[in-house]
Amino acid sequence: MNRILVGSVDDIQEGHPVFVRSGVLEIAVFRLGDEFRAYRNRCPHQQGPVCNGTITGTQVATASSGWVPEWVREGRVLLCRWHAMEFDLETGERIRGRGERLRSFPVSVTDDQVFVDVASRSRLK
């Protein structure tokens, strides 16, 4: 196991990812409420720096809204600046995609310190 200290829990605020490095890997750690997610800063589309993108929401139109577009999931969507692909920050999956997903890493918290395990790859739940 290769754990990298990211910082204290209070150092990582929603909407402001913290970046760490391990060799050639650049990883961004995002806070989602009381949980954390870590993703490689490389877009599965054309390798852009996806984690430097915009944290936002997305627009959906469903039968329950009468097919009227609604803005949902504010703060839970990562928008890649290169070609505007959207990724779910909770799962790393591309929204409206075909199975593309961000490479994720396990995050743990010990004594209010946040760590990323860069030796293993997480697929999340």
Q: Which stretch binds ligand FES (CB under 6 A): 55-63, 66-74, 80-88, 110-118?
A: 80-88
Would you say 11 or 26 has its CB closer to ligand FES?
26
Task: Decide if residue 80 touches ligand FES (CB under 6 A).
Answer: yes
Tell me the longest C-alpha to C-alpha distance in the chain: 50
Task: Decide if residue 98 touches ligand FES (CB under 6 A).
Answer: no
> Residue 105: CB partners within 8 Å, gap ≥ 6?
27, 38, 39, 40, 116, 117, 118, 120, 121, 122
Q: Which of residues 14-73 bind ligand FES (CB under 6 A)?
A: 43, 45-46, 48, 50
Would you say 7 or 82 has its CB closer to ligand FES?
82
- Site residues, ligand FES (CB under 6 A): 43, 45-46, 48, 50, 80, 82-83, 85
